[in-house]
Amino acid sequence: MLFIITVALFFYTNPILGIVYIFVAFEVVRRSTRAIGSSMPKNFAIGAQTVPTQAKKDEEMASYNPPPIMRKTLEEDVVGSMAPAPQPGVNGPNEYTFKPVNDRVVGASMV
């Protein structure tokens, strides 16, 4: 397919575009052979080592994680030392200790 496109570019467009496409085609082929190549990693080649099992991989990944910290983090210390959040009123959920004051708004629409 790449060869047909290259020939068509040489015949129907500028030859410089065909030359540039040759480099593009070469790079596409080079990158696709690396991606399509063998699924077995190189360090697990035949005779060198065996492919590790999933249990072995899980054990290795668990060794990378640090042990859980049992002490509190800085955020937990700060939140624990803060005063409790004020409750929205003494007599009920909608009764506050302050009353907002609105100025008279002229020309505004009712929302």
What is the C-alpha to C-alpha distance for residues 94 and 85, in angstroms, rounded to an integer? 16
Q: Which residue has the higher pLDDT, 66 or 95?
A: 66
Closest by CA position to 13, among listed 23, 2, 21: 21
What is the C-alpha to C-alpha distance for residues 22 and 5, in angstroms, rounded to an integer? 10
Model confidence pLDDT, tens digit, residues 8-61? 888 888 888 888 999 998 888 888 876 555 555 555 555 556 777 899 889 888
The answer to whether the predicted template modeling score (pTM) of the entire model surpasses 0.85 is no
